Amino acid sequence: MNRDTVYAQSSQASVLETNKVLRNTYMLLSMTLLFSALCAGVAMAVGISPMMSLGMTIAAFITLFVVHKKADSSSGLIWTFVFTGLLGGSLGPMLTYYVGLANGPGLIMQALGGTAIIFFALSGYVLTTKKDFSFLGGFLMVGLMVVVIAAIANIFFAVPAVSLALSAAIIFIMSGLILFDTSRIINGGETNYIRATVSMYLNLYNIFTSLLHILGVFGGDD
């Protein structure tokens, strides 16, 4: 067997593995989003308090460490659903508030639709062009750190304009992370579909909540 044949077989195997990771990621992402939506609906029906919502959010991010640790084992799937279920459930009080607005259900649907459009447009672009967006990693991490620090500071100052700007910045950064994460999958930088799913889920979660906040400010009508 000559060198060219070996290279061709290796390249084909790599493509097949990448396609498998991509397919599994999108399948698991779809399932976790549906499960998350179900948990959000249950939380709304039960009427969980804002404090309980905060507790679920904290528990979710503690669970995130477990997900990454167990990502190479079968139990990683279970922890992934625990993580996304907790985050979905934590949306209960926020969604209940928006549903109570005169045009609240419409705002929620607009936020869902906007999130879907952003995801499919950006992922589709990367899948079509095969461009490598790994160079964005450093910029996105710095941007994320700045947003987190600004968000913590705004807890004490509570400036509405800053809150709105932070939501816009989060949408921008998470959109960049969709490009980055999709690129990592198709270029072999991420070979674990559980980790890939969790990353994509967080991108979509943050885009949805930030879009809803912006739409609520400009389109809210009590």
Distance, in Å, from the CA atom of 207 to the CA atom of 192, rounded to the nearest integer, reads 23
Task: Give ∠ CA 51-157-59 in degrees, rounded to 5.
Answer: 25
Is residue 212 within 8 A of residue 111, CB to CB? The reply is: yes
Distance, in Å, from the CA atom of 41 to the CA atom of 39, rounded to the nearest integer, reads 5
Instruction: Identify the pLDDT of residue 95.
Output: 94
Find where tokens 């490598």 sit.
Answer: 132
Within 50-136, where are the H helices? 50-70, 75-90, 92-99, 104-129
The residue among 182, 171, 168 whose CA lies nearest residue 125 is: 182
In the chain, how many H helices and how many E strands?
8, 0
Instruction: Identify the pLDDT of residue 221.
Output: 54
CA 220 to chain centre: 24
Residues 90-127 as b or e (16 or more Cβ within 10 Å = b) = bbbbbbbebeebeebeebbeebeebbeebbeebbeebe
User: What does the pLDDT look like over 76-114, one tens digit per residue?
Assistant: 999 999 999 999 999 999 999 999 888 888 999 999 999
Q: Which two tokens stand for residue 208?
A: 């949805």
Instruction: Identify the pLDDT of residue 9.
Output: 45
DSSP, collapsed to helix, strand or coil, labels residue 94 as helix
| Residue at 123: amino acid letter | S
DSSP character at residue 132: -
Under-70 pLDDT residues of the chain: 1-15, 220-222
Domain boundaries, the chain: 3-219
**What's the mean pLDDT when you consider all of the chain?**
88
Instruction: Identify the pLDDT of residue 2.
Output: 54
